[in-house]
Amino acid sequence: MSNKQRFSNEANIHYRYSSADELIANLEDLSDMVQHHMQYQRPRLQTLENYYKGNNETILQANRRKEEHLADHRATHNFAKYVSQFIQGYMVGVPLKTSHKDEEINEKLRDINRINDADEHNSDLVLNQSIYGRAYELLYRNKQDEIRFTTLDVKETFVIYDDTVEMNPIAGVRYFNNQFNDDTLNVIVYTDNKKYDFVTKDQYSYKLTLRNEENHFFDGVPIIEYMNNKFRQGDYEDVLNLIDLYDSAQSDTANYMTDLNDAYLVIQGNVDLDVKTAEKMKEARLILLQTEPGNDGKASQADAKYIYKQYDVSGTEAYKDRLAEDIHKFTNTPNLNDEHFSGTQSGESMKYKLFGLEQVRSIKERLFKKALRDRYRLINNVMTRASEGGFDVNDIQIVFTPNLPKSLKEEIEMFIKLGGKLSEETTLSVLSLVENPKEELEKIEAENKLNQPTYDFEQFRNQDEEVTDDDE
């Protein structure tokens, strides 16, 4: 019995090794890992990316119809993009907030996040997590001596962990071909204190040659892996087969509609009709059947009708609806076309419909926070080495806000009825357009001082003296 599993068990394994020093000392093992990633892991990642882009492989690559004269439509349905974009928007549609209790440190972290467009960067990480089941981030200092972080291509990146139960990262690997020379493969390895630049021009042995070596000062592997879940599965990976079935069903429906236009016309009976007359009738879309006398002298019967494959409309449409519903159910994403989903429902009632997605979000959020703390731990390390001030990573507060419709009006009205009052800072924090309430209060105070009327007390004093002299 053949194995119908879509991806090999090797397609999503973690790479493990004893230590970074031993790995650099045994470059053949490093080369084997790169080759393994190219052969087993990259095809899975490429397939997941193809489905996200709407290039659904099964419907586009399968040999579906043998008859050349029949229609062969290949309809792809981008459920994958719908799932990932919905989850991305739900998680970070409202940008996550990071803050530190020390205002000076808080300001430094805000500056770093602004330089790196952290909101967009975090959103890209969440999207990669959803598509591939993992995402990678690289930290570095640029020529302006700024701390920067960027996303890496998942298809060309992996992290190597030690062989302990803690699975500590010992190296991050990024490899890519030269844009104008496919024979040259560049392999860059980051350990906890060095960056190694290897190159190989042998496509068969992949023998690595060290081209450059330099230090970095992050005191940790600057490539961070963001896992989507324990098994590093993408959010729609489980339903790829269901997407294929839906593509096939819709394509068959389209083929039927096209083939109906090319149905065979069958004329029964002894008809006095030549080819030229039949062609004229076809152009006029009208058939006049004139029968000939039969052997018994009586007029024979004639009939014309098309032959085509019968289509079970209700059964086929119910089948496609069931497939679409299963895709939404198993990805924990709502069907927005469901008339019972939205409408005039309150935010609280919608939370129950998103209960399954909430469970997924809690898992993704915990893993994302863990990787984020690794990011700020490395930032703290390099800031400390550069005498730019350090901080305790555990004091950083990371807050996710689900992008969910809220009845804020009802909540505020209930709060006011109960006699509650809010500070100005809390009131401003409710507004989504205000990123930092404290900064906004400072701006308001500065504007008030600027607009405050000024008085020339010397002028008033002189006027008082003039009045006194006149009185005398």
Listed by start position, the domains of the chain span 1-262+312-406, 264-307, 407-472
What span, in angstroms and rounded, lies between the C-alpha atoms of 280 and 201?
69
Helix residue ranges per DSSP H, 285-354: 313-331, 347-353
What span, in angstroms and rounded, lies between the C-alpha atoms of 206 and 203?
5
The first and second tokens of residue 98, run together, are 């990071």
Parallel, antiparallel, or unpaired for β 264-268 and 303-307?
antiparallel
Instruction: Give the per-residue pLDDT at 472.
Output: 44
Q: Which three-class secondary structure state does DSSP give residue 199?
A: strand
Contact between residue 126 and residue 88 where contact means Cβ atoms under 8 Å apart:
yes
Instruction: Give the per-residue pLDDT at 441.
Output: 84
What single-letter amino acid sits at 281?
Answer: M
The residues of the chain scoring below 50 in pLDDT are 1, 472
Contact between residue 227 and residue 133 where contact means Cβ atoms under 8 Å apart:
yes
Q: Which three-class secondary structure state does DSSP give residue 25?
A: helix
Instruction: Give the per-residue pLDDT at 405.
Output: 67
Q: For residue 206, give the DSSP letter.
A: -
What single-letter amino acid sits at 391?
Answer: F
Instruction: Give the per-residue pLDDT at 293.
Output: 66
Q: What is the CA radius of gyration of the chain?
A: 34
Instruction: Give the per-residue pLDDT at 297.
Output: 61
Instruction: Give the per-residue pLDDT at 88.
Output: 96
Instruction: Give the per-residue pLDDT at 295.
Output: 65
Reported as a single tens digit per residue, the pLDDT across 388-421 is: 888 989 999 999 988 876 656 666 776 677 667 7
CA 104 to chain centre: 34
Best CA proximity match to 345, nearest among 420, 402, 406 = 406
